[in-house]
Structure 1
Amino acid sequence: MQSIYAMHQNGSDNMEKEEKFLFYSIDAIQDLYLIMLSSLIEICKKETVFLHLSSQKHLATPEERNPNEKFIKNSIFQILAENNSLSIALENRKINNWTLNDDYIILLLNAVKESKLYAKYMSNSVNTFEEDRDFIVALFTEVIVPNEKLYEYLEDDKLTWVDDIPLVNTHIIKQLKAIKSANDESFRVPKLYKDNEDKDFVRDLFRKTILNERELSKEYDDKTPNWDSERIAEIDTIILKMAICEFLKFPSIPVKVTLNEYLEVAKEYSTPKSSIFINGILDNLVKELQASKKMVKVGRGLM
């Protein structure tokens, strides 16, 4: 949707160029995932170095000589640091953001140590794996994710990440919660695409919508008698075209799936009343397409 919108705004007809950027922006989601997840590892490393240097000071206090290492020995930190899937992905994708910008790690570490979560966690000398895991989940959710400086850094790095940040963070939290024990080796860096068919769908939906925009717009033109085409938000017209494209040119996608997906997109990206407007048009259009047998869906339960 955003790629099609960008083409409209730029007055571009270079579909190949926009398609390359589309896949580039999707590919970059994995970098964002790795950057966010590796921030936990780097925070632990930074605190480990700090504790060591403090213990070596000439006038070190008793607390500095024998620091409380509960934080740096948290089980989740150890699992992430030793995870092959994560290490390989970081190496292959050449993720070195925190090496180049370790001031953000210091900033995050300070925010962690100033938090009530940290104080409560460190006050208890007896800990369990469940406590370690719940602490890291809460820390990531309540301290790291909402950090404005971190958000600004990510936004400046890649503007396309603005919409991807909630998706990535939600997935990381889900993965952290799913770790069952200190010996759990099931953690894996997720694939961007489920399979080749998944990736093909991205390209096909983009191309078929772009190449058939005029034809697709005709399907809803007479369904908006009280609206001049100029008054309909451009995002709404793109959402309508993409939904209709799925109705007509993707026989394996259930109608209800298309309807639900695009109504959610409208709620997130368009005007407050857009989802109601789009729902009304698509609902009427579906009945018309089914009656005329213009829309053919294959498979059980697809209507």
Structure 2
Amino acid sequence: MLNRRSLRIKVMQSLFALQQCKDANYELCLDKISEAFAPDLNSMEVQDKAALTLQKKTASKLFEKAFKKGETSVDHDDPKIKKICNECFLFYAKQSKKDSDFFLKNLISEVEKIYDHYIAVLSLLPAFAELAEADKKVSHKNFVNNVWIKALRNQEALKKDALKLGRHWQDKADRVKGWFRDVVRQDNEYLNYLDKKSPTLDDQKKFANHLFKKVILGKTVINEFFEEEVLRWAEDKEIVKGLVEKTVKSFDGEDQNTLTLHTLSVNWEEDKEFIEKLYHKASNLDEKYKELIANNTRNWEVDRLPLTDRMILEMAIAELLEFPSIPVKVTINEYIELSKNYSTPKSRQFINGILDVIAKELKDKGDVKKSGRGLMDNK
């Protein structure tokens, strides 16, 4: 099931991609300025190359300086310099807005599709069971009669969702047949299970778990298929694995109606609001808070920090400022964990130290306002 940590990871990945696009948009602006003051080789008039070069340098410096200050327009005595620079600011704003909207939409879609992957993984066992049933050369009786497998095959909600989401595997019959032949039937645990005389309920449950954990989601070509199909499978797999484990655990081995599908989120609308708000606030963090990062990173300018560290610090500040119900210590600890798993080896200690100082400054200035659960441990 989704938790806030997995949501923060998703937001961080999207912000990372967005920042790369923003950097590319900035470079495009500088290219546009260079092109605007390049000699016109098709013109019949004499080109004053020295004057054009000076204009280009002046326009570039003017744009870079204003951009660094967070300004969105410039003024200059030379009308062409003013016009080109302001056109670049408009281009940057328009393109970055387009990129931001795209990544947010993609972020929400990626999270929602985790449920699709969960249904796809669950649906593989019934698909394998059908192939086992049709195999006349080897007896797969223990597999076909496994009560967990039978419960999945009889789960109407699973059939309905698999059909609705296109995760039924019917369009990949040859691939599934190959997996069953080359992966499932070659698995030692599978072969040992087939040889058991009378598998107990515990045996059957362990076997079902093994198929999911080691055969489908283990180091096999089946898992490689998901890696190729799903952009961020490394993170999504852990959530899918948790949902699958809960599904297997929900069945008591007796009443097949007890096997239930699990929702991705207890309250998706609330989680979705968290994602959107954190994404928007972090991607549009006020310049004064970026300066706060710069002032507390000694000789490091914000732009020279590793991009992942910048994203983590900006997300943490946005969360401290905009989510009154989340305690300060919770926010700091969460972003320390993100740095440990997604940044450089030294980042954890660096992020920890910077966030402690920044959180104190923000609280002293009255910028951090907590309420309800957010007041816990905020000393």
Report if the CA contact (8 A) 2:18-2:103 is conserved. yes
> What's the C-alpha RMSD, in Å, of the aligned pairs?
2.1
Deviation digits for residues 169-226 of structure 1, max 9, x if unmatched?
2331243234322315343333333222222111111111122253432232211004
Alignment partner, residue 181 of structure 1: 253
Distance 1:214 1:40 in 2: 52
Distance 1:193 1:219 in 2: 35
Q: Which amino acid aligns with 1:212?
A: L
1:1-303 alignment to 2 at 5 Å?
1-11=12-22, 12-14=96-98, 15-51=100-136, 54=137, 67-96=139-168, 98-110=169-181, 111-195=183-267, 196-212=269-285, 214-300=287-373, 301-302=375-376, 303=378
Report if the CA contact (8 A) 1:79-1:182 is conserved. no
TM-score normalised by the chain length of structure 1: 0.87
**Change in CA separation of 1:194 and 1:116 when aligned onto 2, cut-off 3 Å:** same
Distance 1:273 1:4 in 2: 22
Distance 1:135 1:197 in 2: 36
- Structure 1 residue 48 displacement after superposition: 1.0
Distance 2:372 2:231 in 1: 39
Report if the CA contact (8 A) 1:209-1:242 is conserved. yes
Q: Which amino acid aligns with 1:102?
A: A
Alignment partner, residue 60 of structure 1: none
Higher Cα Rg, which structure: 2
Deviation digits for residues 66-119 of structure 1, max 9, x if unmatched?
x351111111111111123322221221224x2222333233323222222123
Distance 2:112 2:161 in 1: 13
**More RCO (CA 8 Å, sep 6+):** 1
Distance 1:107 1:219 in 2: 57
Structure 1 residue runs without a partner (length 5+): 55-63
- Structure 1 residue 269 displacement after superposition: 1.6
Distance 1:260 1:107 in 2: 45
Report if the CA contact (8 A) 1:108-1:144 is conserved. no
